[in-house]
Chain A
């Protein structure tokens, strides 16, 4: 700063080493380094380490941490259970994402329609499950799924109808997806609804003068205009699917059908906190993070290039 007074140039603006921008950037930079870069760096470091054991492995100095090279990564990539978990997640996501976004779009369009009554109440009612924490939602639905305590099976029994076992291997995916759809539809609906409200009413008026019906307005104007919001919600939903953990973990004690390594993140948890092998857990985490990043950005890029084309 002192140099500014020595070498004044162009209306006396300081031109020496520009510290001010870095000063303003520093807090964000330091926070980024401390709470983002450092833990990730440490996880990568851990993923390259392992423990070596001498003899029976009992008592002092029986364990030593050593470099493992890429052996944790080869272990992860050849792990059948992790691969099976990834497949399960794909199946789960294939149910959750289309159902949740389809319902969210439908509700948003209905709420945006001129003929809707009690819109405020409906909006709140659909959004409310999002405010219920995932663990609580899973417990709540778990009780409803358990045959002997569920009011549904009680009613079916009274009506003389067959009682489905919602935890059987075939229905399990649907049961788990139902919890995610119940909890997530409201949030996605709000995002889509907000972007619907941003459309200028002039466009609708013009469409009506041209003789478009409400359905045609919805299909030809509303849905194409909210496409960015749909892409965003799809993006969030896919990431949430990759990270599914609390629902299956909460339901696991209630049934034999969910294994301890049902989803990839459950496998990480199992490795780190049950097997006590933080090194391979770190390697799995890094692999999951890379896969999520590649898929998310790949999708975003594809979506952006399509919308750019549409604009030009």
Chain B
């Protein structure tokens, strides 16, 4: 009896302590000041960003920016939408280009056209169009871009007597020639775990996945251009000319490091990935423009690339816009971003600036790396994103994963991606044309 009394009393005390713990935590959120020095929070994942922000904080004691490191990409989209629903979003957020319509649709990002509209001249039209969503509003300042390129093992291409493919037909011929010479090696793999690459390849072929007409969204994932890309890769996977295993796995790292895969269609940020995935192959790679659909063409798509957005919850939009503009256009800031974060800046003057005068260490054998990259970046086709890119991307993973695994028709996988995306838009209540 006595023991159970003590036990009950302990439970009561613990319970009270827990309750107190719950209530005290909600009081600790800082209150925004409307006068005097302003402090801004910034959710981002770019490496080394805190060092760039330190430069700003030293120069601008009245606008103090604090970076809060976040998980990259899709996870942050979910997190910021949730935070915004609770009206607890930070002032600034890093967002990928394809996430902007989703964020704007959820009323996360503020229109900053009056605060930062003048930055337009710093960026290429195709890039700027993606942050305005083709409207008069401005939802973010571009930070970095990811134009697609063709990376290949120079030494192994020489060994097997292969030439750098100029067109996708050449690419297929190269893949077959390599298989014939050494059945254990593959030119590359078709990966179903990152839809961004496929989206970029479709973009190069001229696909426009999301467009608007009046109050209607049109989804063109199964348009002729995307079908062409899907058929091309589906054919290569089916005949076994390229591998069908996903990227970014330990097996993939090994394949790149040991030369079982000797090329990679990737973006300008590939040197960073190769440095960690295939450290033994340093200095053996080279970069060339992406193969084209018809000879003489000069186009590329993009994979990744991000922006700095300002949230509707921010109480200091003007100060935040000032910082975002500085971060992505000021020569000193962009140079620091390149140096500390290894990003490829979206601002056009920075692409040929002194920050990018030397090639990445991994590509020291190609001193003109960034000059070549700047020339390729100019040819980037504009992206066309919609309010449910996440859904389309996960539909890609499932449909193309299955098709690549079973080496079946990629066109039906594309159709399933289209129908899932349209069904989701309709279910959410969008009008679909």
Interface residues of A (CB under 8 A from B): 23-24, 26-28, 30-31, 34, 50-53, 55-63, 75, 143, 146-149, 168-169, 253-257, 259-261, 270, 273-277
Contact of B78 among A53, A169, A273 (CB under 8 A): A273
A-B contacts, 16 of them at CB < 8 A, read: A28-B11, A31-B15, A53-B430, A56-B216, A57-B105, A60-B312, A148-B251, A255-B245, A256-B405, A259-B401, A259-B402, A260-B398, A274-B390, A275-B390, A275-B424, A277-B427
**Residue in A closest to B135 when the chains form the complex, CB atoms:** A58
B254 interface hit (Cβ, 8 Å): yes
B249 in the interface (beta carbon within 8 A): yes
Q: Look across to chain B and name the residue whose beta carbon is closest to the beta carbon of A143.
A: B250
* Chain A residue at minimal CB-CB distance from B258: A148
Q: In the complex the two chains form, what is the Cα distance from A28 to B105 in whole Å?
A: 42
A56 to B137, CA, bound (A): 14
Interface of B: prevailing SS: helix
* B15 & A259 in contact (Cβ 8 Å cutoff): no
How many residues in B have their beta carbons less than 8 Å from beta carbons of A?
58
Are A56 and B15 touching (Cβ within 8 A)?
no
Q: Is the CB of B430 within 8 A of A63?
A: no
9 closest Cβ pairs, A-B complex: A27-B15, A256-B401, A53-B429, A256-B405, A259-B398, A148-B251, A55-B215, A146-B251, A57-B105
Residue of B nearest to A61 (CB): B107
Query: A53 contacts which chain B residues (CB < 8 A)?
Result: 105, 428-430
Q: Given A56-B215, A149-B254, A256-B245, decide whether A62 and B105 contact each other with a Cβ distance below 8 A.
A: yes
Interface check B387, CB cutoff 8 A: yes
B98 to chain A, nearest CB (A): 13
Q: Judge if B188 is at the interface, Cβ distance under 8 Å.
A: no
User: Is the C-beta of B394 less than 8 angstroms from some C-beta in chain A?
Assistant: yes
Nearest A residue to B17 by beta-carbon distance?
A27
- Give the chain B neighbours of A168 by CB distance below 8 A: 405
CB proximity of B216 to chain A, nearest CB, Å: 8
**Which residues of chain B have C-beta atoms less than 8 A from A256's C-beta?**
192-193, 244-246, 401-402, 404-405
Complex contact A276–B81 (CB within 8 A): yes
Q: Does B368 lie at the interface of the complex (its beta carbon under 8 Å from any beta carbon of A)?
A: no
Is A276 in contact with B18, judged by CB distance below 8 angstroms?
A: no
B22 close to A (CB within 8 Å)? yes
Residues of B within 8 A of A257 (CB): 401, 405
Chain B window 1-39, contacts with chain A (Cβ cutoff 8 Å), 1 for yes, 0 for no:
000000010011011101100100000000000000000
Q: How many Å from the CB of B240 to the closest CB on chain A?
A: 15
- In the assembled complex, which residues on chain B have CB atoms less than 8 Å from the CB atom of A31? 15, 18-19
Contact A24 B104, beta carbon cutoff 8 Å: no
Given A143-B250, A259-B401, decide whether A27 and B78 contact each other with a Cβ distance below 8 A.
no
Kindly list chain B residues whose C-beta atoms are within 8 Å of the C-beta of A143.
250
Instruction: State the CA gap A62–B406 with chains docked (Å).
Output: 42
Contact across chains for A27 and B12 when beta carbons are under 8 A apart: yes
A146: contacting residue among B19, B74, B102, B250, CB under 8 A: B250
Q: Within 8 Å of chain A (Cβ to Cβ): is B111?
A: yes
Q: Does B106 belong to the interface (CB within 8 Å)?
A: yes
B428 to chain A, nearest CB (A): 6
When the two chains form the complex, which single residue of B14, B106, B193 contacts A276, counting CB atoms closer than 8 Å?
B106
**Chain A residues, CB < 8 A from B394:** 260, 270, 274-275
Q: Does B113 contact A (CB under 8 A)?
A: no
Q: State in angstroms the CA–CA spacing of A71 and B316 once bound together.
A: 41
Contact assessment for B430 and A57 in the assembled complex, using a CB-CB cutoff below 8 Å: yes
Pairwise interchain contact B107-A62, C-beta atoms closer than 8 A: yes
B160 on interface, CB distance cutoff 8 Å: no
- Report yes or no: B217 in contact with A56, Cβ–Cβ below 8 A: yes
Interface residue ranges of B410-433 to A (CB < 8 Å): 424, 427-431
- Report whether B255 and A148 are in contact in the complex, using a CB–CB cutoff of 8 Å: yes
Chain B minimum-CB-distance residue to A65? B85
Per the bound structure, the CA–CA distance linking A277 and B82 in Å amounts to 11
A146 touching B397 in the complex, CB below 8 Å, given contacts A51-B429, A52-B429, A256-B405:
no
Q: Is B260 engaged at the interface, CB distance under 8 Å to the other chain?
A: yes
B300 touches A (CB below 8 Å): no
Taking the nearest CB of chain A, how far is it from the CB of B386, in angstroms? 10
Closest-CB distance, A261 to chain B (whole angstroms): 7
- Chain B residues within 8 Å of A275, by CB: 388, 390-391, 394, 424
Contact (Cβ within 8 A) A27 B106 = no
Is the C-beta of B383 less than 8 angstroms from some C-beta in chain A? no
Greatest chain B CB density within 10 A among A75, A168, A256 is at: A256
Query: Is B133's CB within 8 Å of the partner chain A?
Result: yes
Contacts A57-B387, A276-B78 given; indicate if A148 touches B254 (C-beta within 8 A). yes
Q: Is the CB of B8 within 8 A of A24?
A: yes
**Listed residue (A31, A149, A253, A274) with the most chain B CB atoms within 10 angstroms of its CB:** A274
B105 engages A253 (CB within 8 Å): no
A34 touches B22 (CB 8 A): yes
